[in-house]
């Protein structure tokens, strides 16, 4: 979905007035002037700087403004907090403080959404329904209920009218992003319009409960029969675009270590379960839960771990999975050549646009400080900060799923530390990485790749003739012009011409020698004339011509030999 980006796409001028007031309130009158119109005043509260050293508005003032502008802008700020490849660290730290907490909507509105979406009265769907929400955010809120089968379920409901509000806010975001790029050089470098495009894609996925339900189903399939991980069941009969009904998980939050111990469960083993699960998601399935904070990760009484809230997930294609596996193995085995090859294959290292030698040196300096340390003695957050410093320094733009992956690493590390784990992430992931790389060379995988390539060749064999016909037809009708150019042949032309000239001279020399010999040895003589030279009284014209041919052949032969000797190609 692409919303209209122009100023005309903003329906309400009152929203402009609200933004203007918010910018004024937080001491950014000059920013307001650049974005929204003529200057009214410039404020400075308590001597605090309005602009950071980057020339961009200060991090704290941006964060306060986003909070006051409402849920859509708070979610945009949360997305910005994951883009450490775009924003300096001080901005990232401020954006992480943004909290997506809003008052819950009244029960009557929740009831109205469910009945409209499912097409049945609430009492005909649920035997019991809690009117109090257990969680409320800007996009949706969650209630508990019980089906007539007796099964307890969690019901996630999209807030009514939120889609229209977000659409209007996104139109405004496009307008402001474009103005920020025009007004601030840093805004252009960051690509704020592209950031809004990314936000538009992400937020509308969150508004579709069918997408989240599909993600739960996919995780359930991936971990079917697993003894360590439990994935809740989706009740598709009651799930729609705005309502998600799923199995309710009664478990212990992962940060409640004492309660975990009270059930006779070893917290360190739970941390290993999490690490193994994450490794499988990355290197076996290519599909990972990208928000594993304590509220979304529960420990069941039997020691299994259950993941809930699948609103944020990430995908990796087979090629990226192999590159990440090589990256893990490179670090685990202290092989920086393998690390650099993996980064290059992933398209993150470009020899034409960056100093690869300097990047390799910086990467090694960063990595050596953390090598061989366990999870208890290493901070993935520190590693992440160091890596992001390299990304900013060498101007590397990371794909969204890779950023999601790095963010998930930080959260996974945080959970491991809460549980007191001393495991090494690299050591846990190493066997999964090896298995993935070996899988790429087994017979089944090779046959799969051969079949895929054969299918592609079949498609190309059908489309290429049509494409060539279309090109030739357009050229024949004068709509296109085919032009062939060659370059780099000038030296070859000169060498060919020189060789042909030498061959011609050689033929002339041979002809002169042969002709002279024939004339001198001919018994017939033509036109005698008297000549008193070296004792000769008369000479025939045929003899003169023969001698002349010999002389010419000799001179040309000597010059040709000298030329060949000078070229050094005798």
How large a percentage of the chain has pLDDT more than 90?
19
Query: Both 50 and 171 in a single domain?
Result: yes
Which of 444-448, 513-517, 533-537 bottoms out in mean pLDDT, i.e. has the lowest?
Answer: 444-448
Which of 121-125, 199-203, 419-423 bottoms out in mean pLDDT, i.e. has the lowest?
Answer: 419-423
Predicted local confidence at residue 41, as pLDDT: 38
Give the whole-angstrom CA distance, residue 449 versus residue 461. Answer: 18
Cβ(306)–Cβ(300) below 8 Å: yes
Strand order in the sheet with 305-307: 229-230, 305-307, 297-299, 252-253
Tell me: the pLDDT tens digits for 472-498?
A: 777 777 666 656 565 655 566 666 666
The per-residue pLDDT of the chain, averaged, comes to 75
Backbone torsion region of residue 334, taken as left when φ is above 0, otherwise alpha when ψ lies between -120 and 50, otherwise beta: left
* Residue scoring higher pLDDT (120 or 541): 120
Query: Both 34 and 173 in a single domain?
Result: yes
DSSP-based three-state secondary structure for 559: helix
Average pLDDT estimate for 388-407: 73
Query: Both 323 and 472 in a single domain?
Result: no
Tell me: the pLDDT tens digits for 208-235?
A: 999 999 999 999 999 998 999 999 999 9
Please check the confidence at residue 121 and state whether its pLDDT lies above 50: yes
Please check the confidence at residue 375 and state whether its pLDDT lies above 60: no
Q: Is residue 153 part of a domain?
A: no
Give the whole-angstrom CA distance, residue 296 versus residue 251. Answer: 11
Q: Which residue do the tokens 């496009």 mark?
A: 174
Query: Both 386 and 512 in a single domain?
Result: no
Predicted local confidence at residue 209, as pLDDT: 94
Predicted local confidence at residue 89, as pLDDT: 75
Query: Both 278 and 346 in a single domain?
Result: yes
Predicted local confidence at residue 381, as pLDDT: 62
Instruction: With CA atoms as reference, report the closest residue to 75 among 213, 206, 193, 187.
Output: 206
Query: Both 290 and 412 in a single domain?
Result: yes
Phi, psi of 255 (to 5 degrees): -90, 0
Tell me which of 148, 183, 205 is where a domain ends. Answer: 205
How many other β-carbons are positioned within 10 Å of the β-carbon of residue 511?
13
Cβ(394)–Cβ(357) below 8 Å: no
Give the whole-angstrom CA distance, residue 322 versus residue 284. Answer: 10
Q: Is residue 240 part of a domain?
A: no
Give the whole-angstrom CA distance, residue 165 versus residue 67. Answer: 16
Phi, psi of 147 (to 5 degrees): -80, 170
What DSSP assignment string belongs to 515-555?
Answer: HHHHHHT-S----EEEEEETTEEEEEHHHHHHHHHHHHHHH
Query: Both 388 and 280 in a single domain?
Result: yes
For residue 521, name the pLDDT band (cuts at 50, 70, 90).
low
DSSP-based three-state secondary structure for 89: helix
pTM over 0.75: no
Angle, CA of 247, 250 and 255, to the nearest 5°: 125
As beta bridge partners, residue 155 has: 143, 245
Give the whole-angstrom CA distance, residue 64 versus residue 58. Answer: 10
Query: Both 260 and 376 in a single domain?
Result: yes
Cβ(251)–Cβ(298) below 8 Å: yes
Q: Is residue 131 part of a domain?
A: no
DSSP state of 375: G
Give the whole-angstrom CA distance, residue 307 versus residue 288. Answer: 11
* Residue scoring higher pLDDT (38 or 301): 301
For residue 49, name the pLDDT band (cuts at 50, 70, 90).
very low
Please check the confidence at residue 297 and state whether its pLDDT lies above 90: no
Cβ(145)–Cβ(134) below 8 Å: no
Please check the confidence at residue 284 and state whether its pLDDT lies above 50: yes
Phi, psi of 538 (to 5 degrees): -145, 150
Backbone torsion region of residue 225, taken as left when φ is above 0, otherwise alpha when ψ lies between -120 and 50, otherwise beta: left
Please check the confidence at residue 241 and state whether its pLDDT lies above 90: yes
Query: Both 333 and 378 in a single domain?
Result: yes
Q: Which domain holds residue 51?
A: 7-102+164-205
Query: Both 422 and 472 in a single domain?
Result: no
Q: Number of structural domains, the chain? A: 4
Q: Is residue 225 part of a domain?
A: no
For residue 406, name the pLDDT band (cuts at 50, 70, 90).
confident
Q: Is residue 120 part of a domain?
A: no
Predicted local confidence at residue 486, as pLDDT: 59
- Is 291 assigned a catalytic role? yes
Q: Is residue 303 part of a domain?
A: yes
Query: Both 329 and 384 in a single domain?
Result: yes
What pairing do the DSSP bridges indicate for beta strands 313-315 and 287-289?
A: antiparallel
Give the whole-angstrom CA distance, residue 296 versus residue 518. Answer: 107
Q: Is residue 556 part of a domain?
A: yes
Angle, CA of 175, 179 and 182, to the nearest 5°: 145
Query: Both 326 and 462 in a single domain?
Result: no
- Given the residues 30, 85, 169, 291, select the one marked as catalytic: 291
What DSSP assignment string belongs to 272-311?
Answer: HHHHHHHHHIIIIISEEES---GGGEEE-TTS-EEE---S
Please check the confidence at residue 43 and state whether its pLDDT lies above 70: no
As beta bridge partners, residue 530 has: 538
Please check the confidence at residue 65 and state whether its pLDDT lies above 90: no
Q: What is the dihedral of CA 214, 219, 222, 223, to 10 degrees?
A: -140
């Amino acid at each position: 979905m692409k919303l209209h980006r122009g100023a005309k796409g903003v329906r309400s001028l009152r929203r402009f007035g609200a933004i203007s007031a918010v910018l004024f309130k937080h001491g950014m009158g000059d920013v307001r002037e650049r974005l929204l119109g003529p200057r009214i005043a410039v404020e400075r509260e308590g001597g605090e700087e309005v602009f950071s050293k980057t020339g961009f508005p200060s991090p704290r003032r941006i964060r306060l403004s986003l909070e006051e502008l409402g849920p859509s802008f708070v979610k945009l700020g949360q997305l910005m907090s994951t883009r450490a490849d775009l924003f300096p660290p001080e901005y990232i730290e401020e954006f992480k403080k943004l909290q997506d907490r809003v008052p819950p909507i009244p029960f009557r509105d929740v009831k109205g959404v469910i009945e409209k979406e499912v097409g049945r009265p609430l009492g005909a769907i649920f035997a019991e329904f809690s009117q109090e929400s257990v969680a409320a955010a800007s996009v949706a809120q969650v209630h508990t209920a019980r089906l007539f089968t007796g099964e307890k379920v969690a019901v996630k409901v999209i807030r009514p009218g939120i889609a229209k509000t977000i659409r209007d806010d996104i139109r405004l975001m496009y307008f402001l992003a474009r103005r920020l790029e025009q007004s601030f050089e840093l805004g252009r470098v960051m690509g704020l319009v592209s950031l809004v495009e990314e936000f538009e894609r992400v937020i509308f996925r969150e508004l579709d409960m069918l997408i989240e339900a599909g993600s739960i189903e996919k995780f359930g399939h991936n971990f079917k029969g697993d003894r360590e991980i439990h994935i809740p069941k989706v009740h598709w009969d009651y799930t729609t675009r705005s309502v998600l009904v799923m199995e309710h998980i009664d478990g212990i939050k992962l940060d409640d270590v004492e309660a975990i111990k009270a059930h006779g469960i070893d917290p360190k083993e739970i941390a290993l379960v999490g690490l193994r699960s994450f490794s499988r998601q990355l290197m076996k399935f290519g599909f990972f839960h990208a928000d594993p904070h304590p509220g979304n990760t529960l420990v069941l009484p039997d020691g299994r771990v259950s993941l809930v809230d699948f609103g944020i997930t990430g995908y990796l294609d087979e090629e990226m999975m192999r590159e990440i596996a090589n990256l893990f193995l490179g670090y685990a085995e202290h092989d920086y050549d393998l690390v650099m090859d993996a980064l290059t294959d992933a398209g993150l290292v470009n020899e034409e646009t960056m100093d690869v030698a300097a990047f390799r040196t910086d990467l090694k300096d960063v990595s050596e400080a953390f090598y061989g340390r366990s999870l208890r003695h290493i901070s993935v957050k520190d590693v992440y900060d160091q890596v992001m410093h390299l990304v900013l320094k060498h101007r590397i733009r990371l794909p969204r799923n890779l950023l999601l992956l790095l963010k998930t690493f930080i959260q996974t590390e945080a959970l491991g530390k809460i549980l007191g784990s001393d495991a090494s992430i690299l050591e846990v992931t190493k066997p999964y990485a090896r298995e993935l790389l070996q899988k790429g060379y087994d017979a089944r995988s090779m046959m799969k790749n051969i079949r895929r390539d054969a299918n592609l060749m079949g498609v190309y064999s059908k489309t290429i003739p049509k494409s060539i016909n279309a090109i030739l037809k357009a050229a024949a009708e004068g709509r296109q012009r085919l032009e062939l150019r060659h370059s780099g042949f000038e030296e070859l032309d000169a060498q060919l011409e020189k060789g042909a000239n030498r061959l011609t001279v050689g033929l002339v020399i041979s002809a002169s020698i042969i002709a002279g010999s024939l004339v001198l040895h001919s018994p017939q003589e033509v036109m005698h004339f008297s000549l008193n030279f070296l004792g000769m009284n008369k000479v025939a014209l045929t003899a003169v011509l023969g001698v002349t041919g010999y002389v010419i052949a000799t001179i040309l032969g000597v010059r040709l030999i000298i030329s060949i000797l000078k070229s050094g190609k005798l």
